[in-house]
Amino acid sequence: MRSLIAMGLSAYLSVTACAAEIPLFDAHIHYGHDIWDTISPEKAIAKLRKAGIRKALVSSANDDGTLMLLREAPDLIVPALTPYRKEGELAIWLRDESVPAYLEERLKKAGYVALGEFHAYGAEADLPVVRRVVQLARKHGLYLHADSDAQAIERIFQQDPNARVIWAHAGNDPAHRVLAMLRKYENLWCDLAMRDRIAQNGELLPEWRAAFAEFPDRFMIGTDTYSVGIWGEVEAHAASVRRWLSGLPSEIAERIAYKNAETLFSRPPAGSSGDPDNK
């Protein structure tokens, strides 16, 4: 009896240890100028590592923040390029005609994998500046990291049916709406930053469990560290993510935790010069 209890306990501990150790690829990190004033690059990287974040897709307003982290930890940081040159440009970038030239020039500075995160909702996705960003992504073989509603995502795919889009926060849409979009667009992936309500008391809601089972390759975790306060919660957030991940079959949990992002962002750029499909 005693040994059975011991066996049960050790099995329980090994499951818990396994869940605790699952590495994370955080697909939604920012390190903006109001953050680096308070948290040094060295400290920011230490926070990510302490949380067991193996890799992070980082975009920052301005982009110097991303490059500082990249210099500090090239093994950890996967750079993305946002159109924002300072905090607070979420609404004005859409009509700032200097954005495309800025992005094109800036792309020479590092091996960026994505343009974004940017914010565009509804018909804003068809504004000329946003169209140019979609074209730039196509030209350079980059993902688009879009904080958008479903309508804006539809408009992006109308502009470029071959676009590859990371849908920030899964559009803040309910699971059935997200599923409809994933069924319609095979080049659409979701980050789950700021979607803590997909789980209650550490248990995934059934509709999200079903969504992950249907599309295990299309979801990634994320934190969205847009403030100093959220940088202070990176470790606790990682723990809460691991809690609901631990309730999934391990193969699906590993994909959402890090494998999907690893697969996406290690792919060589597909649309850069020389690719006849993207002229």
Closest contact distance (angstroms) between CB of 118 and Zn ion is: 10
Q: Name the minimum Å distance from CB 209 to Zn ion.
A: 25
CA–centroid distance for 116 within its chain: 10
**Minimum CB–partner distance for residue 145 and Zn ion (Å):** 8
89 sits near Zn ion (criterion: CB under 5 A):
no
Angle (deg, nearest 10), helices 175-184 and 150-159: 10
Identity at 18, one-letter amino acid code:
C
- Min dist. Cβ of residue 24 to Zn ion (A): 17
The least CB distance from residue 231 to Zn ion, in Å, is 13
Interface with Zn ion by CB under 5 A: which range of 42-50, 65-73, 217-225, 229-237? 217-225
At residue 175, φ and ψ (nearest 5 deg) are -55, -40
End-to-end CA distance of the chain: 71
Question: What token pair was written down for 50?
Answer: 């302490």
Name which of residues 13 to 72 contact Zn ion (CB under 5 A): none
Closer Cβ to Zn ion, 48 or 248, answer by number: 48
Tell me the closest approach of the beta carbon of residue 170 to Zn ion, in angstroms.
13
Whether the Cβ atoms of residue 55 and residue 78 lie closer than 8 Å to each other: yes
Give the number of residues in contact with Zn ion, rule: CB under 5 A: 2
- For residues 134 and 146, what is the distance between their CA atoms, to the nearest angstrom? 11
Instruction: Give whichever of 117 and 149 is closer to Zn ion, judged by the CB atom.
Output: 117
- Shortest reach from residue 57's CB to Zn ion, in Å: 10
> Given the rule CB under 5 A, which of 60-68, 71-79, 223-231, 238-246 is the region that contacts Zn ion?
223-231
Contact (Cβ atoms closer than 8 angstroms) between residue 35 and residue 225: yes
In the complex with Zn ion, the residue whose CB is nearer, 26 or 117, is 117
Q: Which residue is at the shortest CB distance from Zn ion?
A: 224
Restricting to residues 107-146, name those near Zn ion by CB under 5 A. Answer: 117
Task: Figure out which of the listed residues 149, 173, 191, 224 binds Zn ion, where binding follows CB under 5 A.
Answer: 224
Place of tokens 């949990």: 253
Instruction: Output 26 or 224, the one with its CB closest to Zn ion.
Output: 224
Write out the H or E segment, with its range, that includes residue 235. helix 234-245
- Cα 189 from Cα 175, distance rounded (Å): 13
Sign, CA dihedral 171-175-177-181, equals positive
Nearer to Zn ion, 26 or 160 (CB): 26
What is the distance between the alpha carbons of residues 180 and 172, in angstroms, rounded to a whole number? 14
210 or 230, CB closer to Zn ion? 230
- Record the tokens describing residue 1, joined without a space: 């009896």
Which residues of the shown chain bind Zn ion in the complex (CB under 5 A)? 117, 224
